[in-house]
Amino acid sequence: MVQLKVILDTRRKKSDGTYPICFRITNIKKVNYISAGITVLLEHWDETRLSISKNHPNHKSLNLALSKKYYDIQREILKLEQEENFSIDKLKNILNSKADGPQKVITFNNYVKKLVDEMMALNQTGNALVYKHASTRFINFVGSSKIEFKQIDFNVLDAFRQRLLADKVKLNSISNYFRTIRAIYNKAIRAKIIDRSHYPFYDISIKTEKTANRAISKKDITKLEKLELSNGSKEWHARNCFLLCFYLIGISFTDLAYLTKDNINNGRIIYRRRKTHKLYSIRLFKKAEMILNLYANEDRKYLLPVLDNKILEDTLESKKLISQWIKTTNEYLGRVAIKHMKSIKLTTYVARHTWATTAKKMGYSNELIAEALGHQHGNRITNIYLDVFDQEVVDGMHEKVIS
């Protein structure tokens, strides 16, 4: 009777300190091994259960892959035994024939291009551009568009990080690059392009740093509201956009640009944020309503004159238009700040920081502020209790912050 067992082959230590997992096949005192294609550290192997131990970060998926391959081999062994025709060579030939022959290697660069094309086809332009930008910088560093996933190891990633640091790239930007590359690698694993045993991010720490508080004071908001700017001027439009972002609990400029009349319902702005897909319902107080009325136009689909009625949402064209508006708006906000506000920093994103900081200074809890901003705060249990906040409580805080 042929015996099959999963083992950790401690005879063959890899250069990274891991050992290969194998299937040991014993037939009439003859022993053969078939590689499982997975390597682990000694402390990640459970000798009692003959499986990858729970202290391995990917023990579930790897054990599932082991189980599947074990039963595939076991099934073929039983078939050959029933035919009284077993030999290790025949078993290996059968297993090799099931592997669909030699596979064409899909490079990192080609796979990213495929992902980007798919995202663009689905109008997921923002994510597509993030993937493209991060992968282009990585490929340029590596110096080859033909790098394979299995060639992306700790040494390559660490060298990439050191280069970014040497180029004085900010820590949060480096974090974005690495999170994106990691996401691409994880997708490749799920697509069976690369085996999880090659995963190179276990020892890669993706750090971020706390950004400087970009909020301005409530006194600055009041001064900005009272500035006498020429109607229809670039500065006037920029100031209006900034205040709208503030009056709508730090709404992003992209989400603001996409607002239509349909987003106004029973005195509330109801929209789904592009970045997180979270649904927001914000009380439309008079200050915000007055600015929106300045742009009221029956023939225009959108509340603000950023996008043309005919443009398709979330396309590359719409993304470019909004990006240009953000750039222009921030440029003129900068001019307003220099001329009238003692050179404080003004951008559309400062409005979101200012709303949160103002609420905090007024004594509101982090949980309530997080609820208004659509953030999670604290642990999972805390977040369950956030659901009990009545909308009127958030509305009351919002009214006091912008009044």
pLDDT, tens digit, for every residue of 1-46? 788 999 999 988 888 788 899 999 988 878 888 888 888 899 999 9
pLDDT value, residue 120: 84
Q: Is the pLDDT of residue 321 over 90?
A: yes
pLDDT value, residue 387: 47
pLDDT value, residue 185: 95
Q: Tell me which architecture the domain covering 108-198 has in CATH.
A: Orthogonal Bundle (1.10)
Selected residue with higher pLDDT from 363 and 91: 363
The 3-state secondary structure of the chain reads: CCEEEEEECCCCCCCCCCEEEEEEEEECCEEEEEEEEEEECHHHEECCCCEECCCCCCHHHHHHHHHHHHHHHHHHHHHHHHCCCCCHHHHHHHHHHCCCCCCCCCEHHHHHHHHHHHHHHCCCHHHHHHHHHHHHHHHHHHCCCCCEHHHCCHHHHHHHHHHHHHCCCCHHHHHHHHHHHHHHHHHHHHCCCCCHHHCCCCCCCCCCCCCCCCCCCHHHHHHHHHCCCCCCCHHHHHHHHHHHHHHCCCCCHHHHHHCEHHHEECCEEEEECCCCCCEEEEECCHHHHHHHHHCCCCCCCECCCCCCCCCCCCCHHHHHHHHHHHHHHHHHHHHHHHHHCCCCCCCHHHHHHHHHHHHHHCCCCHHHHHHHHCCCCCCHHHHHHHCCCCHHHHHHHHHHHHC
Q: Percent of the chain beyond pLDDT 90?
A: 51
Domain 218-402 coded CATH 1.10.3470: no
* 266 confidence band (pLDDT: 50, 70, 90): very high
pLDDT value, residue 98: 63
* 244 confidence band (pLDDT: 50, 70, 90): very high
Q: Is the pLDDT of residue 66 over 80?
A: yes
Q: Provide the whole-model pTM.
A: 0.62
pLDDT, tens digit, for every residue of 109-147? 999 999 998 888 777 888 889 999 999 999 999 888 889
Question: Could you state, in order of their start, the residue ranges of all structural domains in the chain?
Answer: 3-97, 108-198, 218-402
pLDDT value, residue 302: 95
pLDDT, tens digit, for every residue of 152-201? 999 999 999 999 999 999 998 999 999 999 999 999 999 888 888 899 99
* 267 confidence band (pLDDT: 50, 70, 90): very high
Selected residue with higher pLDDT from 134 and 367: 134
